[in-house]
Every structure is written in C-alpha cells, then in structure tokens.
Chains A and B, each alone.
Chain A
Amino acid sequence: MDKDNMDIIVSNLSKSFQAVKAVDDISFEVKTGELFGFLGPNGAGKTTTIRMITGLSKPDSGTIITAGIDCSHNPKAAQHLIGVVPDESNLYPELTGFQNLCFCASLYGMGKAEREQEARKLLQAFDLSKAADRKFGGYSKGMKRKLTIAAGIIHKPRVLFLDEPTTGIDVASARALRIMIKDLHKQGTTIFLTTHYIEEAERLCDRIAFIVSGKIVATDTVQNLLKHHEGKHFLQVTHQGRNADIAERLSASFAHLSFSFSKDNTFRVESSEPINITPLIMCLEELGIDVSEAKRITPSLEDVFVRITGLEADAMRKDKEKQGGAK
C-alpha cells in the first residue's frame, strides 16, 4: 500500500453507542482522486463512519489518517482540507443562498472578495442564481441539497464527504446532482460517498465498500465485484398471484438452481449452467401461478450485494421508499 497516494486511511475503527456496536473494527483506504462508495442499508454505520473521520464523533478505537495527517488524537488537524455534505441540508434557514455560501466560505478563512466571487460562480454552476437572494428556508428539497453541496465545496476541499447526497429528492434533481458529483471527481477531488442506492454507487464509484451492521463485508472496484458473477446465468420471473409453497416447491423440483424471492411478485433464478425456462414455467402453472414475464438478466451490483451481504435488495428498496427517494 502506497500511503502517499492515499487521502483516507482508516484502520480498525470502532464505535459503540451503549450496547449497540455502530461501527465494528473497519479498515479501508481511499486513494487520492478516487470516488469511493460506502454502500449499506440505513443504520449500517455509514454516517457514524463519516462523523468519526471528519471529527464530529470520537472513535472508541482505531486510527484515521486524512490527507497524510493523523487525526486519531486531533480531529481538527485536517479539517481545513475536507468538505462535508451531511445527510441533512443543514444550512441557515434565515440566511439567503448567497449569504449561506459566503458564510461557509468565511469559516475556512476566505476573504470577502474571494468568497463572494466563488459563491456567485457556484450559484450559477448549480443553477441557483435566481434563488441567490431568497432565504434558504424557502428552498425546495432539491435546491437545498444543491446549495448544501455547494457549501461543502466552496473552499475547494481536497477530500469531500458526501453523505446520502440524493436521498429524498426528485429524479431530475438527483440526476443533476450525480452529474455534479462526476464533474467534481473529474476535477480531481477525492470523494467519499455514502449511499444506500445500489445503482447510484454502481454508476458513480471507482471502488465500493459494502457495510452491514457496522462491518465492511467487501471492498473492491465495481468490475471486480461483478466478476463474482462471471459465468453465471440469471433469470427474472414475474408472476401473478402467490402460492405459499412456491419457494419450497421450486427448490425441491430444481435443486441445481438457486432462487431468491422478492415481495413484489418476482423472483430470481441463479445457475452456473444455462437455465431451461420451459420446465420452470410448467411447474409454476401446475401451482396455479401465471407467469407474466420471464427474462434473462445480466447480473448487477445489486445481485453482488445480495450475495455478499445476505441482505435482500428489498431491504434497501424499503429504505428508498421510506425516504421518498429517487432512483
């Protein structure tokens, strides 16, 4: 491991809240200029990890090195090099968009002329120029997220922490934010992105760590993670009606296949051999279940996530629905 090329090195980091182990002995590195995804369901420990790395929370144990600075005992040591976009849009409701950006820039010691120039530039880049003089409290959710991201980057941080940046906003705003994140990445900013949107992580990140119940269960590039499914065959079946015995019957009849069931009347079939659809459909018809669609699918990161974590992707979808998130 070349430490000079690493912007974040986390070793054996742990944090408990009373009896709950929120983060359990995790270790990972983020390379300089990398877009690193931290993927896991709600309560997995993503935000706690960010809070510890940025100095908002004190680890029980472990070391944190940010941009070459050991922050384990002095969490403020690297704060001038980082930008943080929290999961909540936490700017000041009484200040306008422009005032909020100028204030955030001033916290990093930027002079008046410089911060006003940067604020105007970012408001334009984020398509918020027209709302610059409106109070932040009156912004829509999407506008709030955009301005919060602008506030996180106004001082041009070397390392940017984005905590669930697209959660709870509409599809168009989420798409616009992803483009902005890609642009920042292209400009060389190291980005640590937490999300529970598997597709988002797949689209944006160079490398991904899966975190479940405070533990990192896998860390790799998207390509390498998908390699686990190379040579495997997948089939997705959508059906009408549900028979309680369906899982048991299919597993018994097709022992060479593995099935994973969702609650939305679909199930997936996985096999190392090409899957013969006809007997499967006949079996379902015998059970009184109408098949409305059966299609071969290319394995996605979601499949990898389900296989590695043992969590159904449904758990992540529920998170999305609860928060009214965009796909």
Chain B
Amino acid sequence: MKKWIAAWNILLKDVRTYYLKPPNISWGIIFPLAWTGMFLIRSGSGLDSIPALLPGLMAISILFGTTSMMAVTVTFEKKNSSFDRLLLAPISFDLLMLAKTSGAIFFGMINAVIPVLLASFISDIRVASWPLLILAVFLIATVSTFLGLLIAIAVREVFEAQTLSNFFRFPMIFLCGLFLPVSKLPIFIRPLSYILPLTYGVDTMRGLITGGNFMPITLSFAVLTAFCIIIFGLNKHFIKKRWIT
C-alpha cells in the first residue's frame, strides 16, 4: 500500500508539474491540428481522406507527445538532481518506472483523442471496435513513452534529448507506413519497417478505422506488447547501469 502511495504521488506530481501546464495543453491541441492540415493539403483529396489519414495522425501525435515529454522531463529532473529523490525512494525500479511513465502514457492517449474528436466533427468515422482502438492507442503510447525514457537515459542535456528524439522519430514516421504503405517501400527497407513498433500500431489503427491493415490485428497487438516489455527491460537495465554509477 505504501509503495502505491508513492507511485500515485509521483504520477500526480508529474501531471501537476508538467502535463497540465498551458504550453503542454496547447501543444496537445495545436500539434495534431497542424499535422491534420498538412496531411489534408498533401493528399489533395479533401475531407473524404480523413478516415485514411486518421491512424497516421493519431500515431504521430502520440509518438511526438510522449517521447518529447518523457525525454525532456526526465532529463530535466536528472539535470537538477531531483530525480535522485525518486531513486532514493523505497520503491522498486519497476514501480518507479511505471509511475514515472504513466503520466506520459496518459498524455499520449489524450493527444490521440484530439484528432479523433476533430475528425468526428468533419467526417464520418466508423471504428470497428472502440475498445480495441483504445487498447491500440494505449500500447502505442506505452511503447513510445518507454522509447522516450530510453532516450532520456542516453543523454545528459535537455537539448540532446530533443535532438536524439528526432533522430528516432523522423525515420520512424517515414518507415512505419504513414506516408507510404510498407508494401510499397523498397524491399531492402522493409525489414527496417518491421523492427519499428509504430508500424504495428499504425497498421492496427488503420485496420480498425478503414479495414486496410496488412497484418492480423492480434499479431500487431502481440508485437506491440513484446516491444513494451523489451523496451521496459532495456530501460531498467540502463537505469541501473547509467544512473546508479
């Protein structure tokens, strides 16, 4: 019970200190809006293309929201040594990591809701299964947040966190089937697509919103879950190795 009090308060503190700040709220709204506009202009097919664009918009919003927040907030706390307080708390590394990442996961999910809300006003969105869509959003937010933590562990400065995040994010959005279906990518690039968690997330959401998935949804869920577990394990390993030096 005592450990859960600690974990819950870490989450509450992060929400109060970082996620409910006006710049982050505006980021959560403006960023998906900007991507929506960009995609609409690029596709040139008007409002009819919204359902096809939606999975990509949601994925990008989650990816950028979670990795930015996680990488920057953790790096900031490491930089001013306040993260040491959390490392000194009598809770396990697993629980600490879950507490610390849950705020970003939630933030990422909220980021995904905004494109859905906007799209539902201007287009006819039909989702095959809302619970499965929520699960897909949750898994993408979780895996992206864990990637953000991995970036935070690798860097010392906040600006380094942003740079390294982009190093991962931009190739990922080009290779995960957002702009071009994976099946149309050059054959030698496709293996790269299959090692990116976002590929499975986008395909799952595409399947649930337009029915255009090329992999079975259950397989995508399994792969996303595996990514979450593997990256969580990597985070734990590197936290112990790099922060408990």
Contacts and interface: CB of A to CB of B under 8 A. Distances in A.
Interface of A: 54-58, 75-76, 79-80, 82, 84, 86, 88, 90-95, 103-104, 106-111, 151
Nearest to B80: A90
B17 A92 contact: yes
A56 B2 contact: no
A119 to B, nearest CB: 13
B86 A107 contact: yes
A56, A88, A106 — most chain B CB neighbours (10 Å)? A106
Given A56-B87, A92-B82, A107-B6, 4 more contacts: A56-B88, A90-B85, A107-B9, A151-B85
Contacts of B92: 76
A34 B5 CA distance: 32
A56 B244 contact: yes
B13 A92 contact: yes
Interface in B132-178: none
The 3 tightest CB contacts between A and B, nearest first, are A109-B2, A106-B9, A80-B90
A55 B88 contact: yes
A79 B81 contact: no
Contacts of B183: none
Contacts of B91: 107
Contacts of A54: 88
B5 A94 contact: no
Contacts of A93: 80
Contacts of A91: 82, 85
A263 to B, nearest CB: 34
B126 interface: no
B121 to A, nearest CB: 35
A110 B5 contact: yes
Contacts of B13: 92, 95, 103
A18 to B, nearest CB: 11
A171 B220 CA distance: 64
A56 B90 contact: no
Contacts of A79: 88-90
Contact of A95 (B17, B84, B244): B17
Interface string B10-29: 10010011000000000000
Query: Which of A82, A95, A109 is packed against the most chain B CB atoms within 10 Å?
Result: A109
A119 B27 CA distance: 35
B9 A56 contact: no
21 contacts: A54-B88, A55-B244, A56-B87, A56-B244, A57-B244, A75-B244, A79-B90, A80-B90, A86-B81, A90-B81, A90-B85, A92-B17, A95-B13, A95-B16, A107-B6, A107-B86, A107-B90, A108-B2, A108-B6, A109-B2, A109-B6
Given A55-B87, A56-B244, A57-B244, A111 B5 contact: yes
Contacts, number: 70
B1 interface: yes
A164 to B, nearest CB: 13
B88 A109 contact: no
B100 to A, nearest CB: 12
Contact of B85 (A58, A107, A109, A111): A107
B3 interface: yes
A80 B6 CA distance: 12
Contact of A94 (B2, B17, B244): B17
B84 to A, nearest CB: 6
Contacts of A58: 244-245
B244 A109 contact: no
Contacts of A95: 13, 16-17
Contacts of B1: 109
Contacts of A103: 9, 13
A151 B89 CA distance: 12
B115 to A, nearest CB: 29
Nearest to A90: B81
A201 B70 CA distance: 42
A109 B80 contact: no
Given A54-B88, A109-B1, A88 B6 contact: no
Contacts of A92: 13, 17, 82
Contacts of A110: 5
Nearest to B4: A109
Nearest to B241: A58
A106 B12 CA distance: 11
Contact of A108 (B80, B84, B90): B90
Given A75-B244, A108-B6, A84 B88 contact: yes
A57 B245 contact: yes
Contacts of B244: 55-58, 75
Contact of A106 (B6, B17, B84): B6
A231 to B, nearest CB: 47
A214 to B, nearest CB: 16
A76 B90 contact: yes
A91 B13 CA distance: 12
Contacts of A109: 1-3, 5-6, 90
Interface in B222-241: none
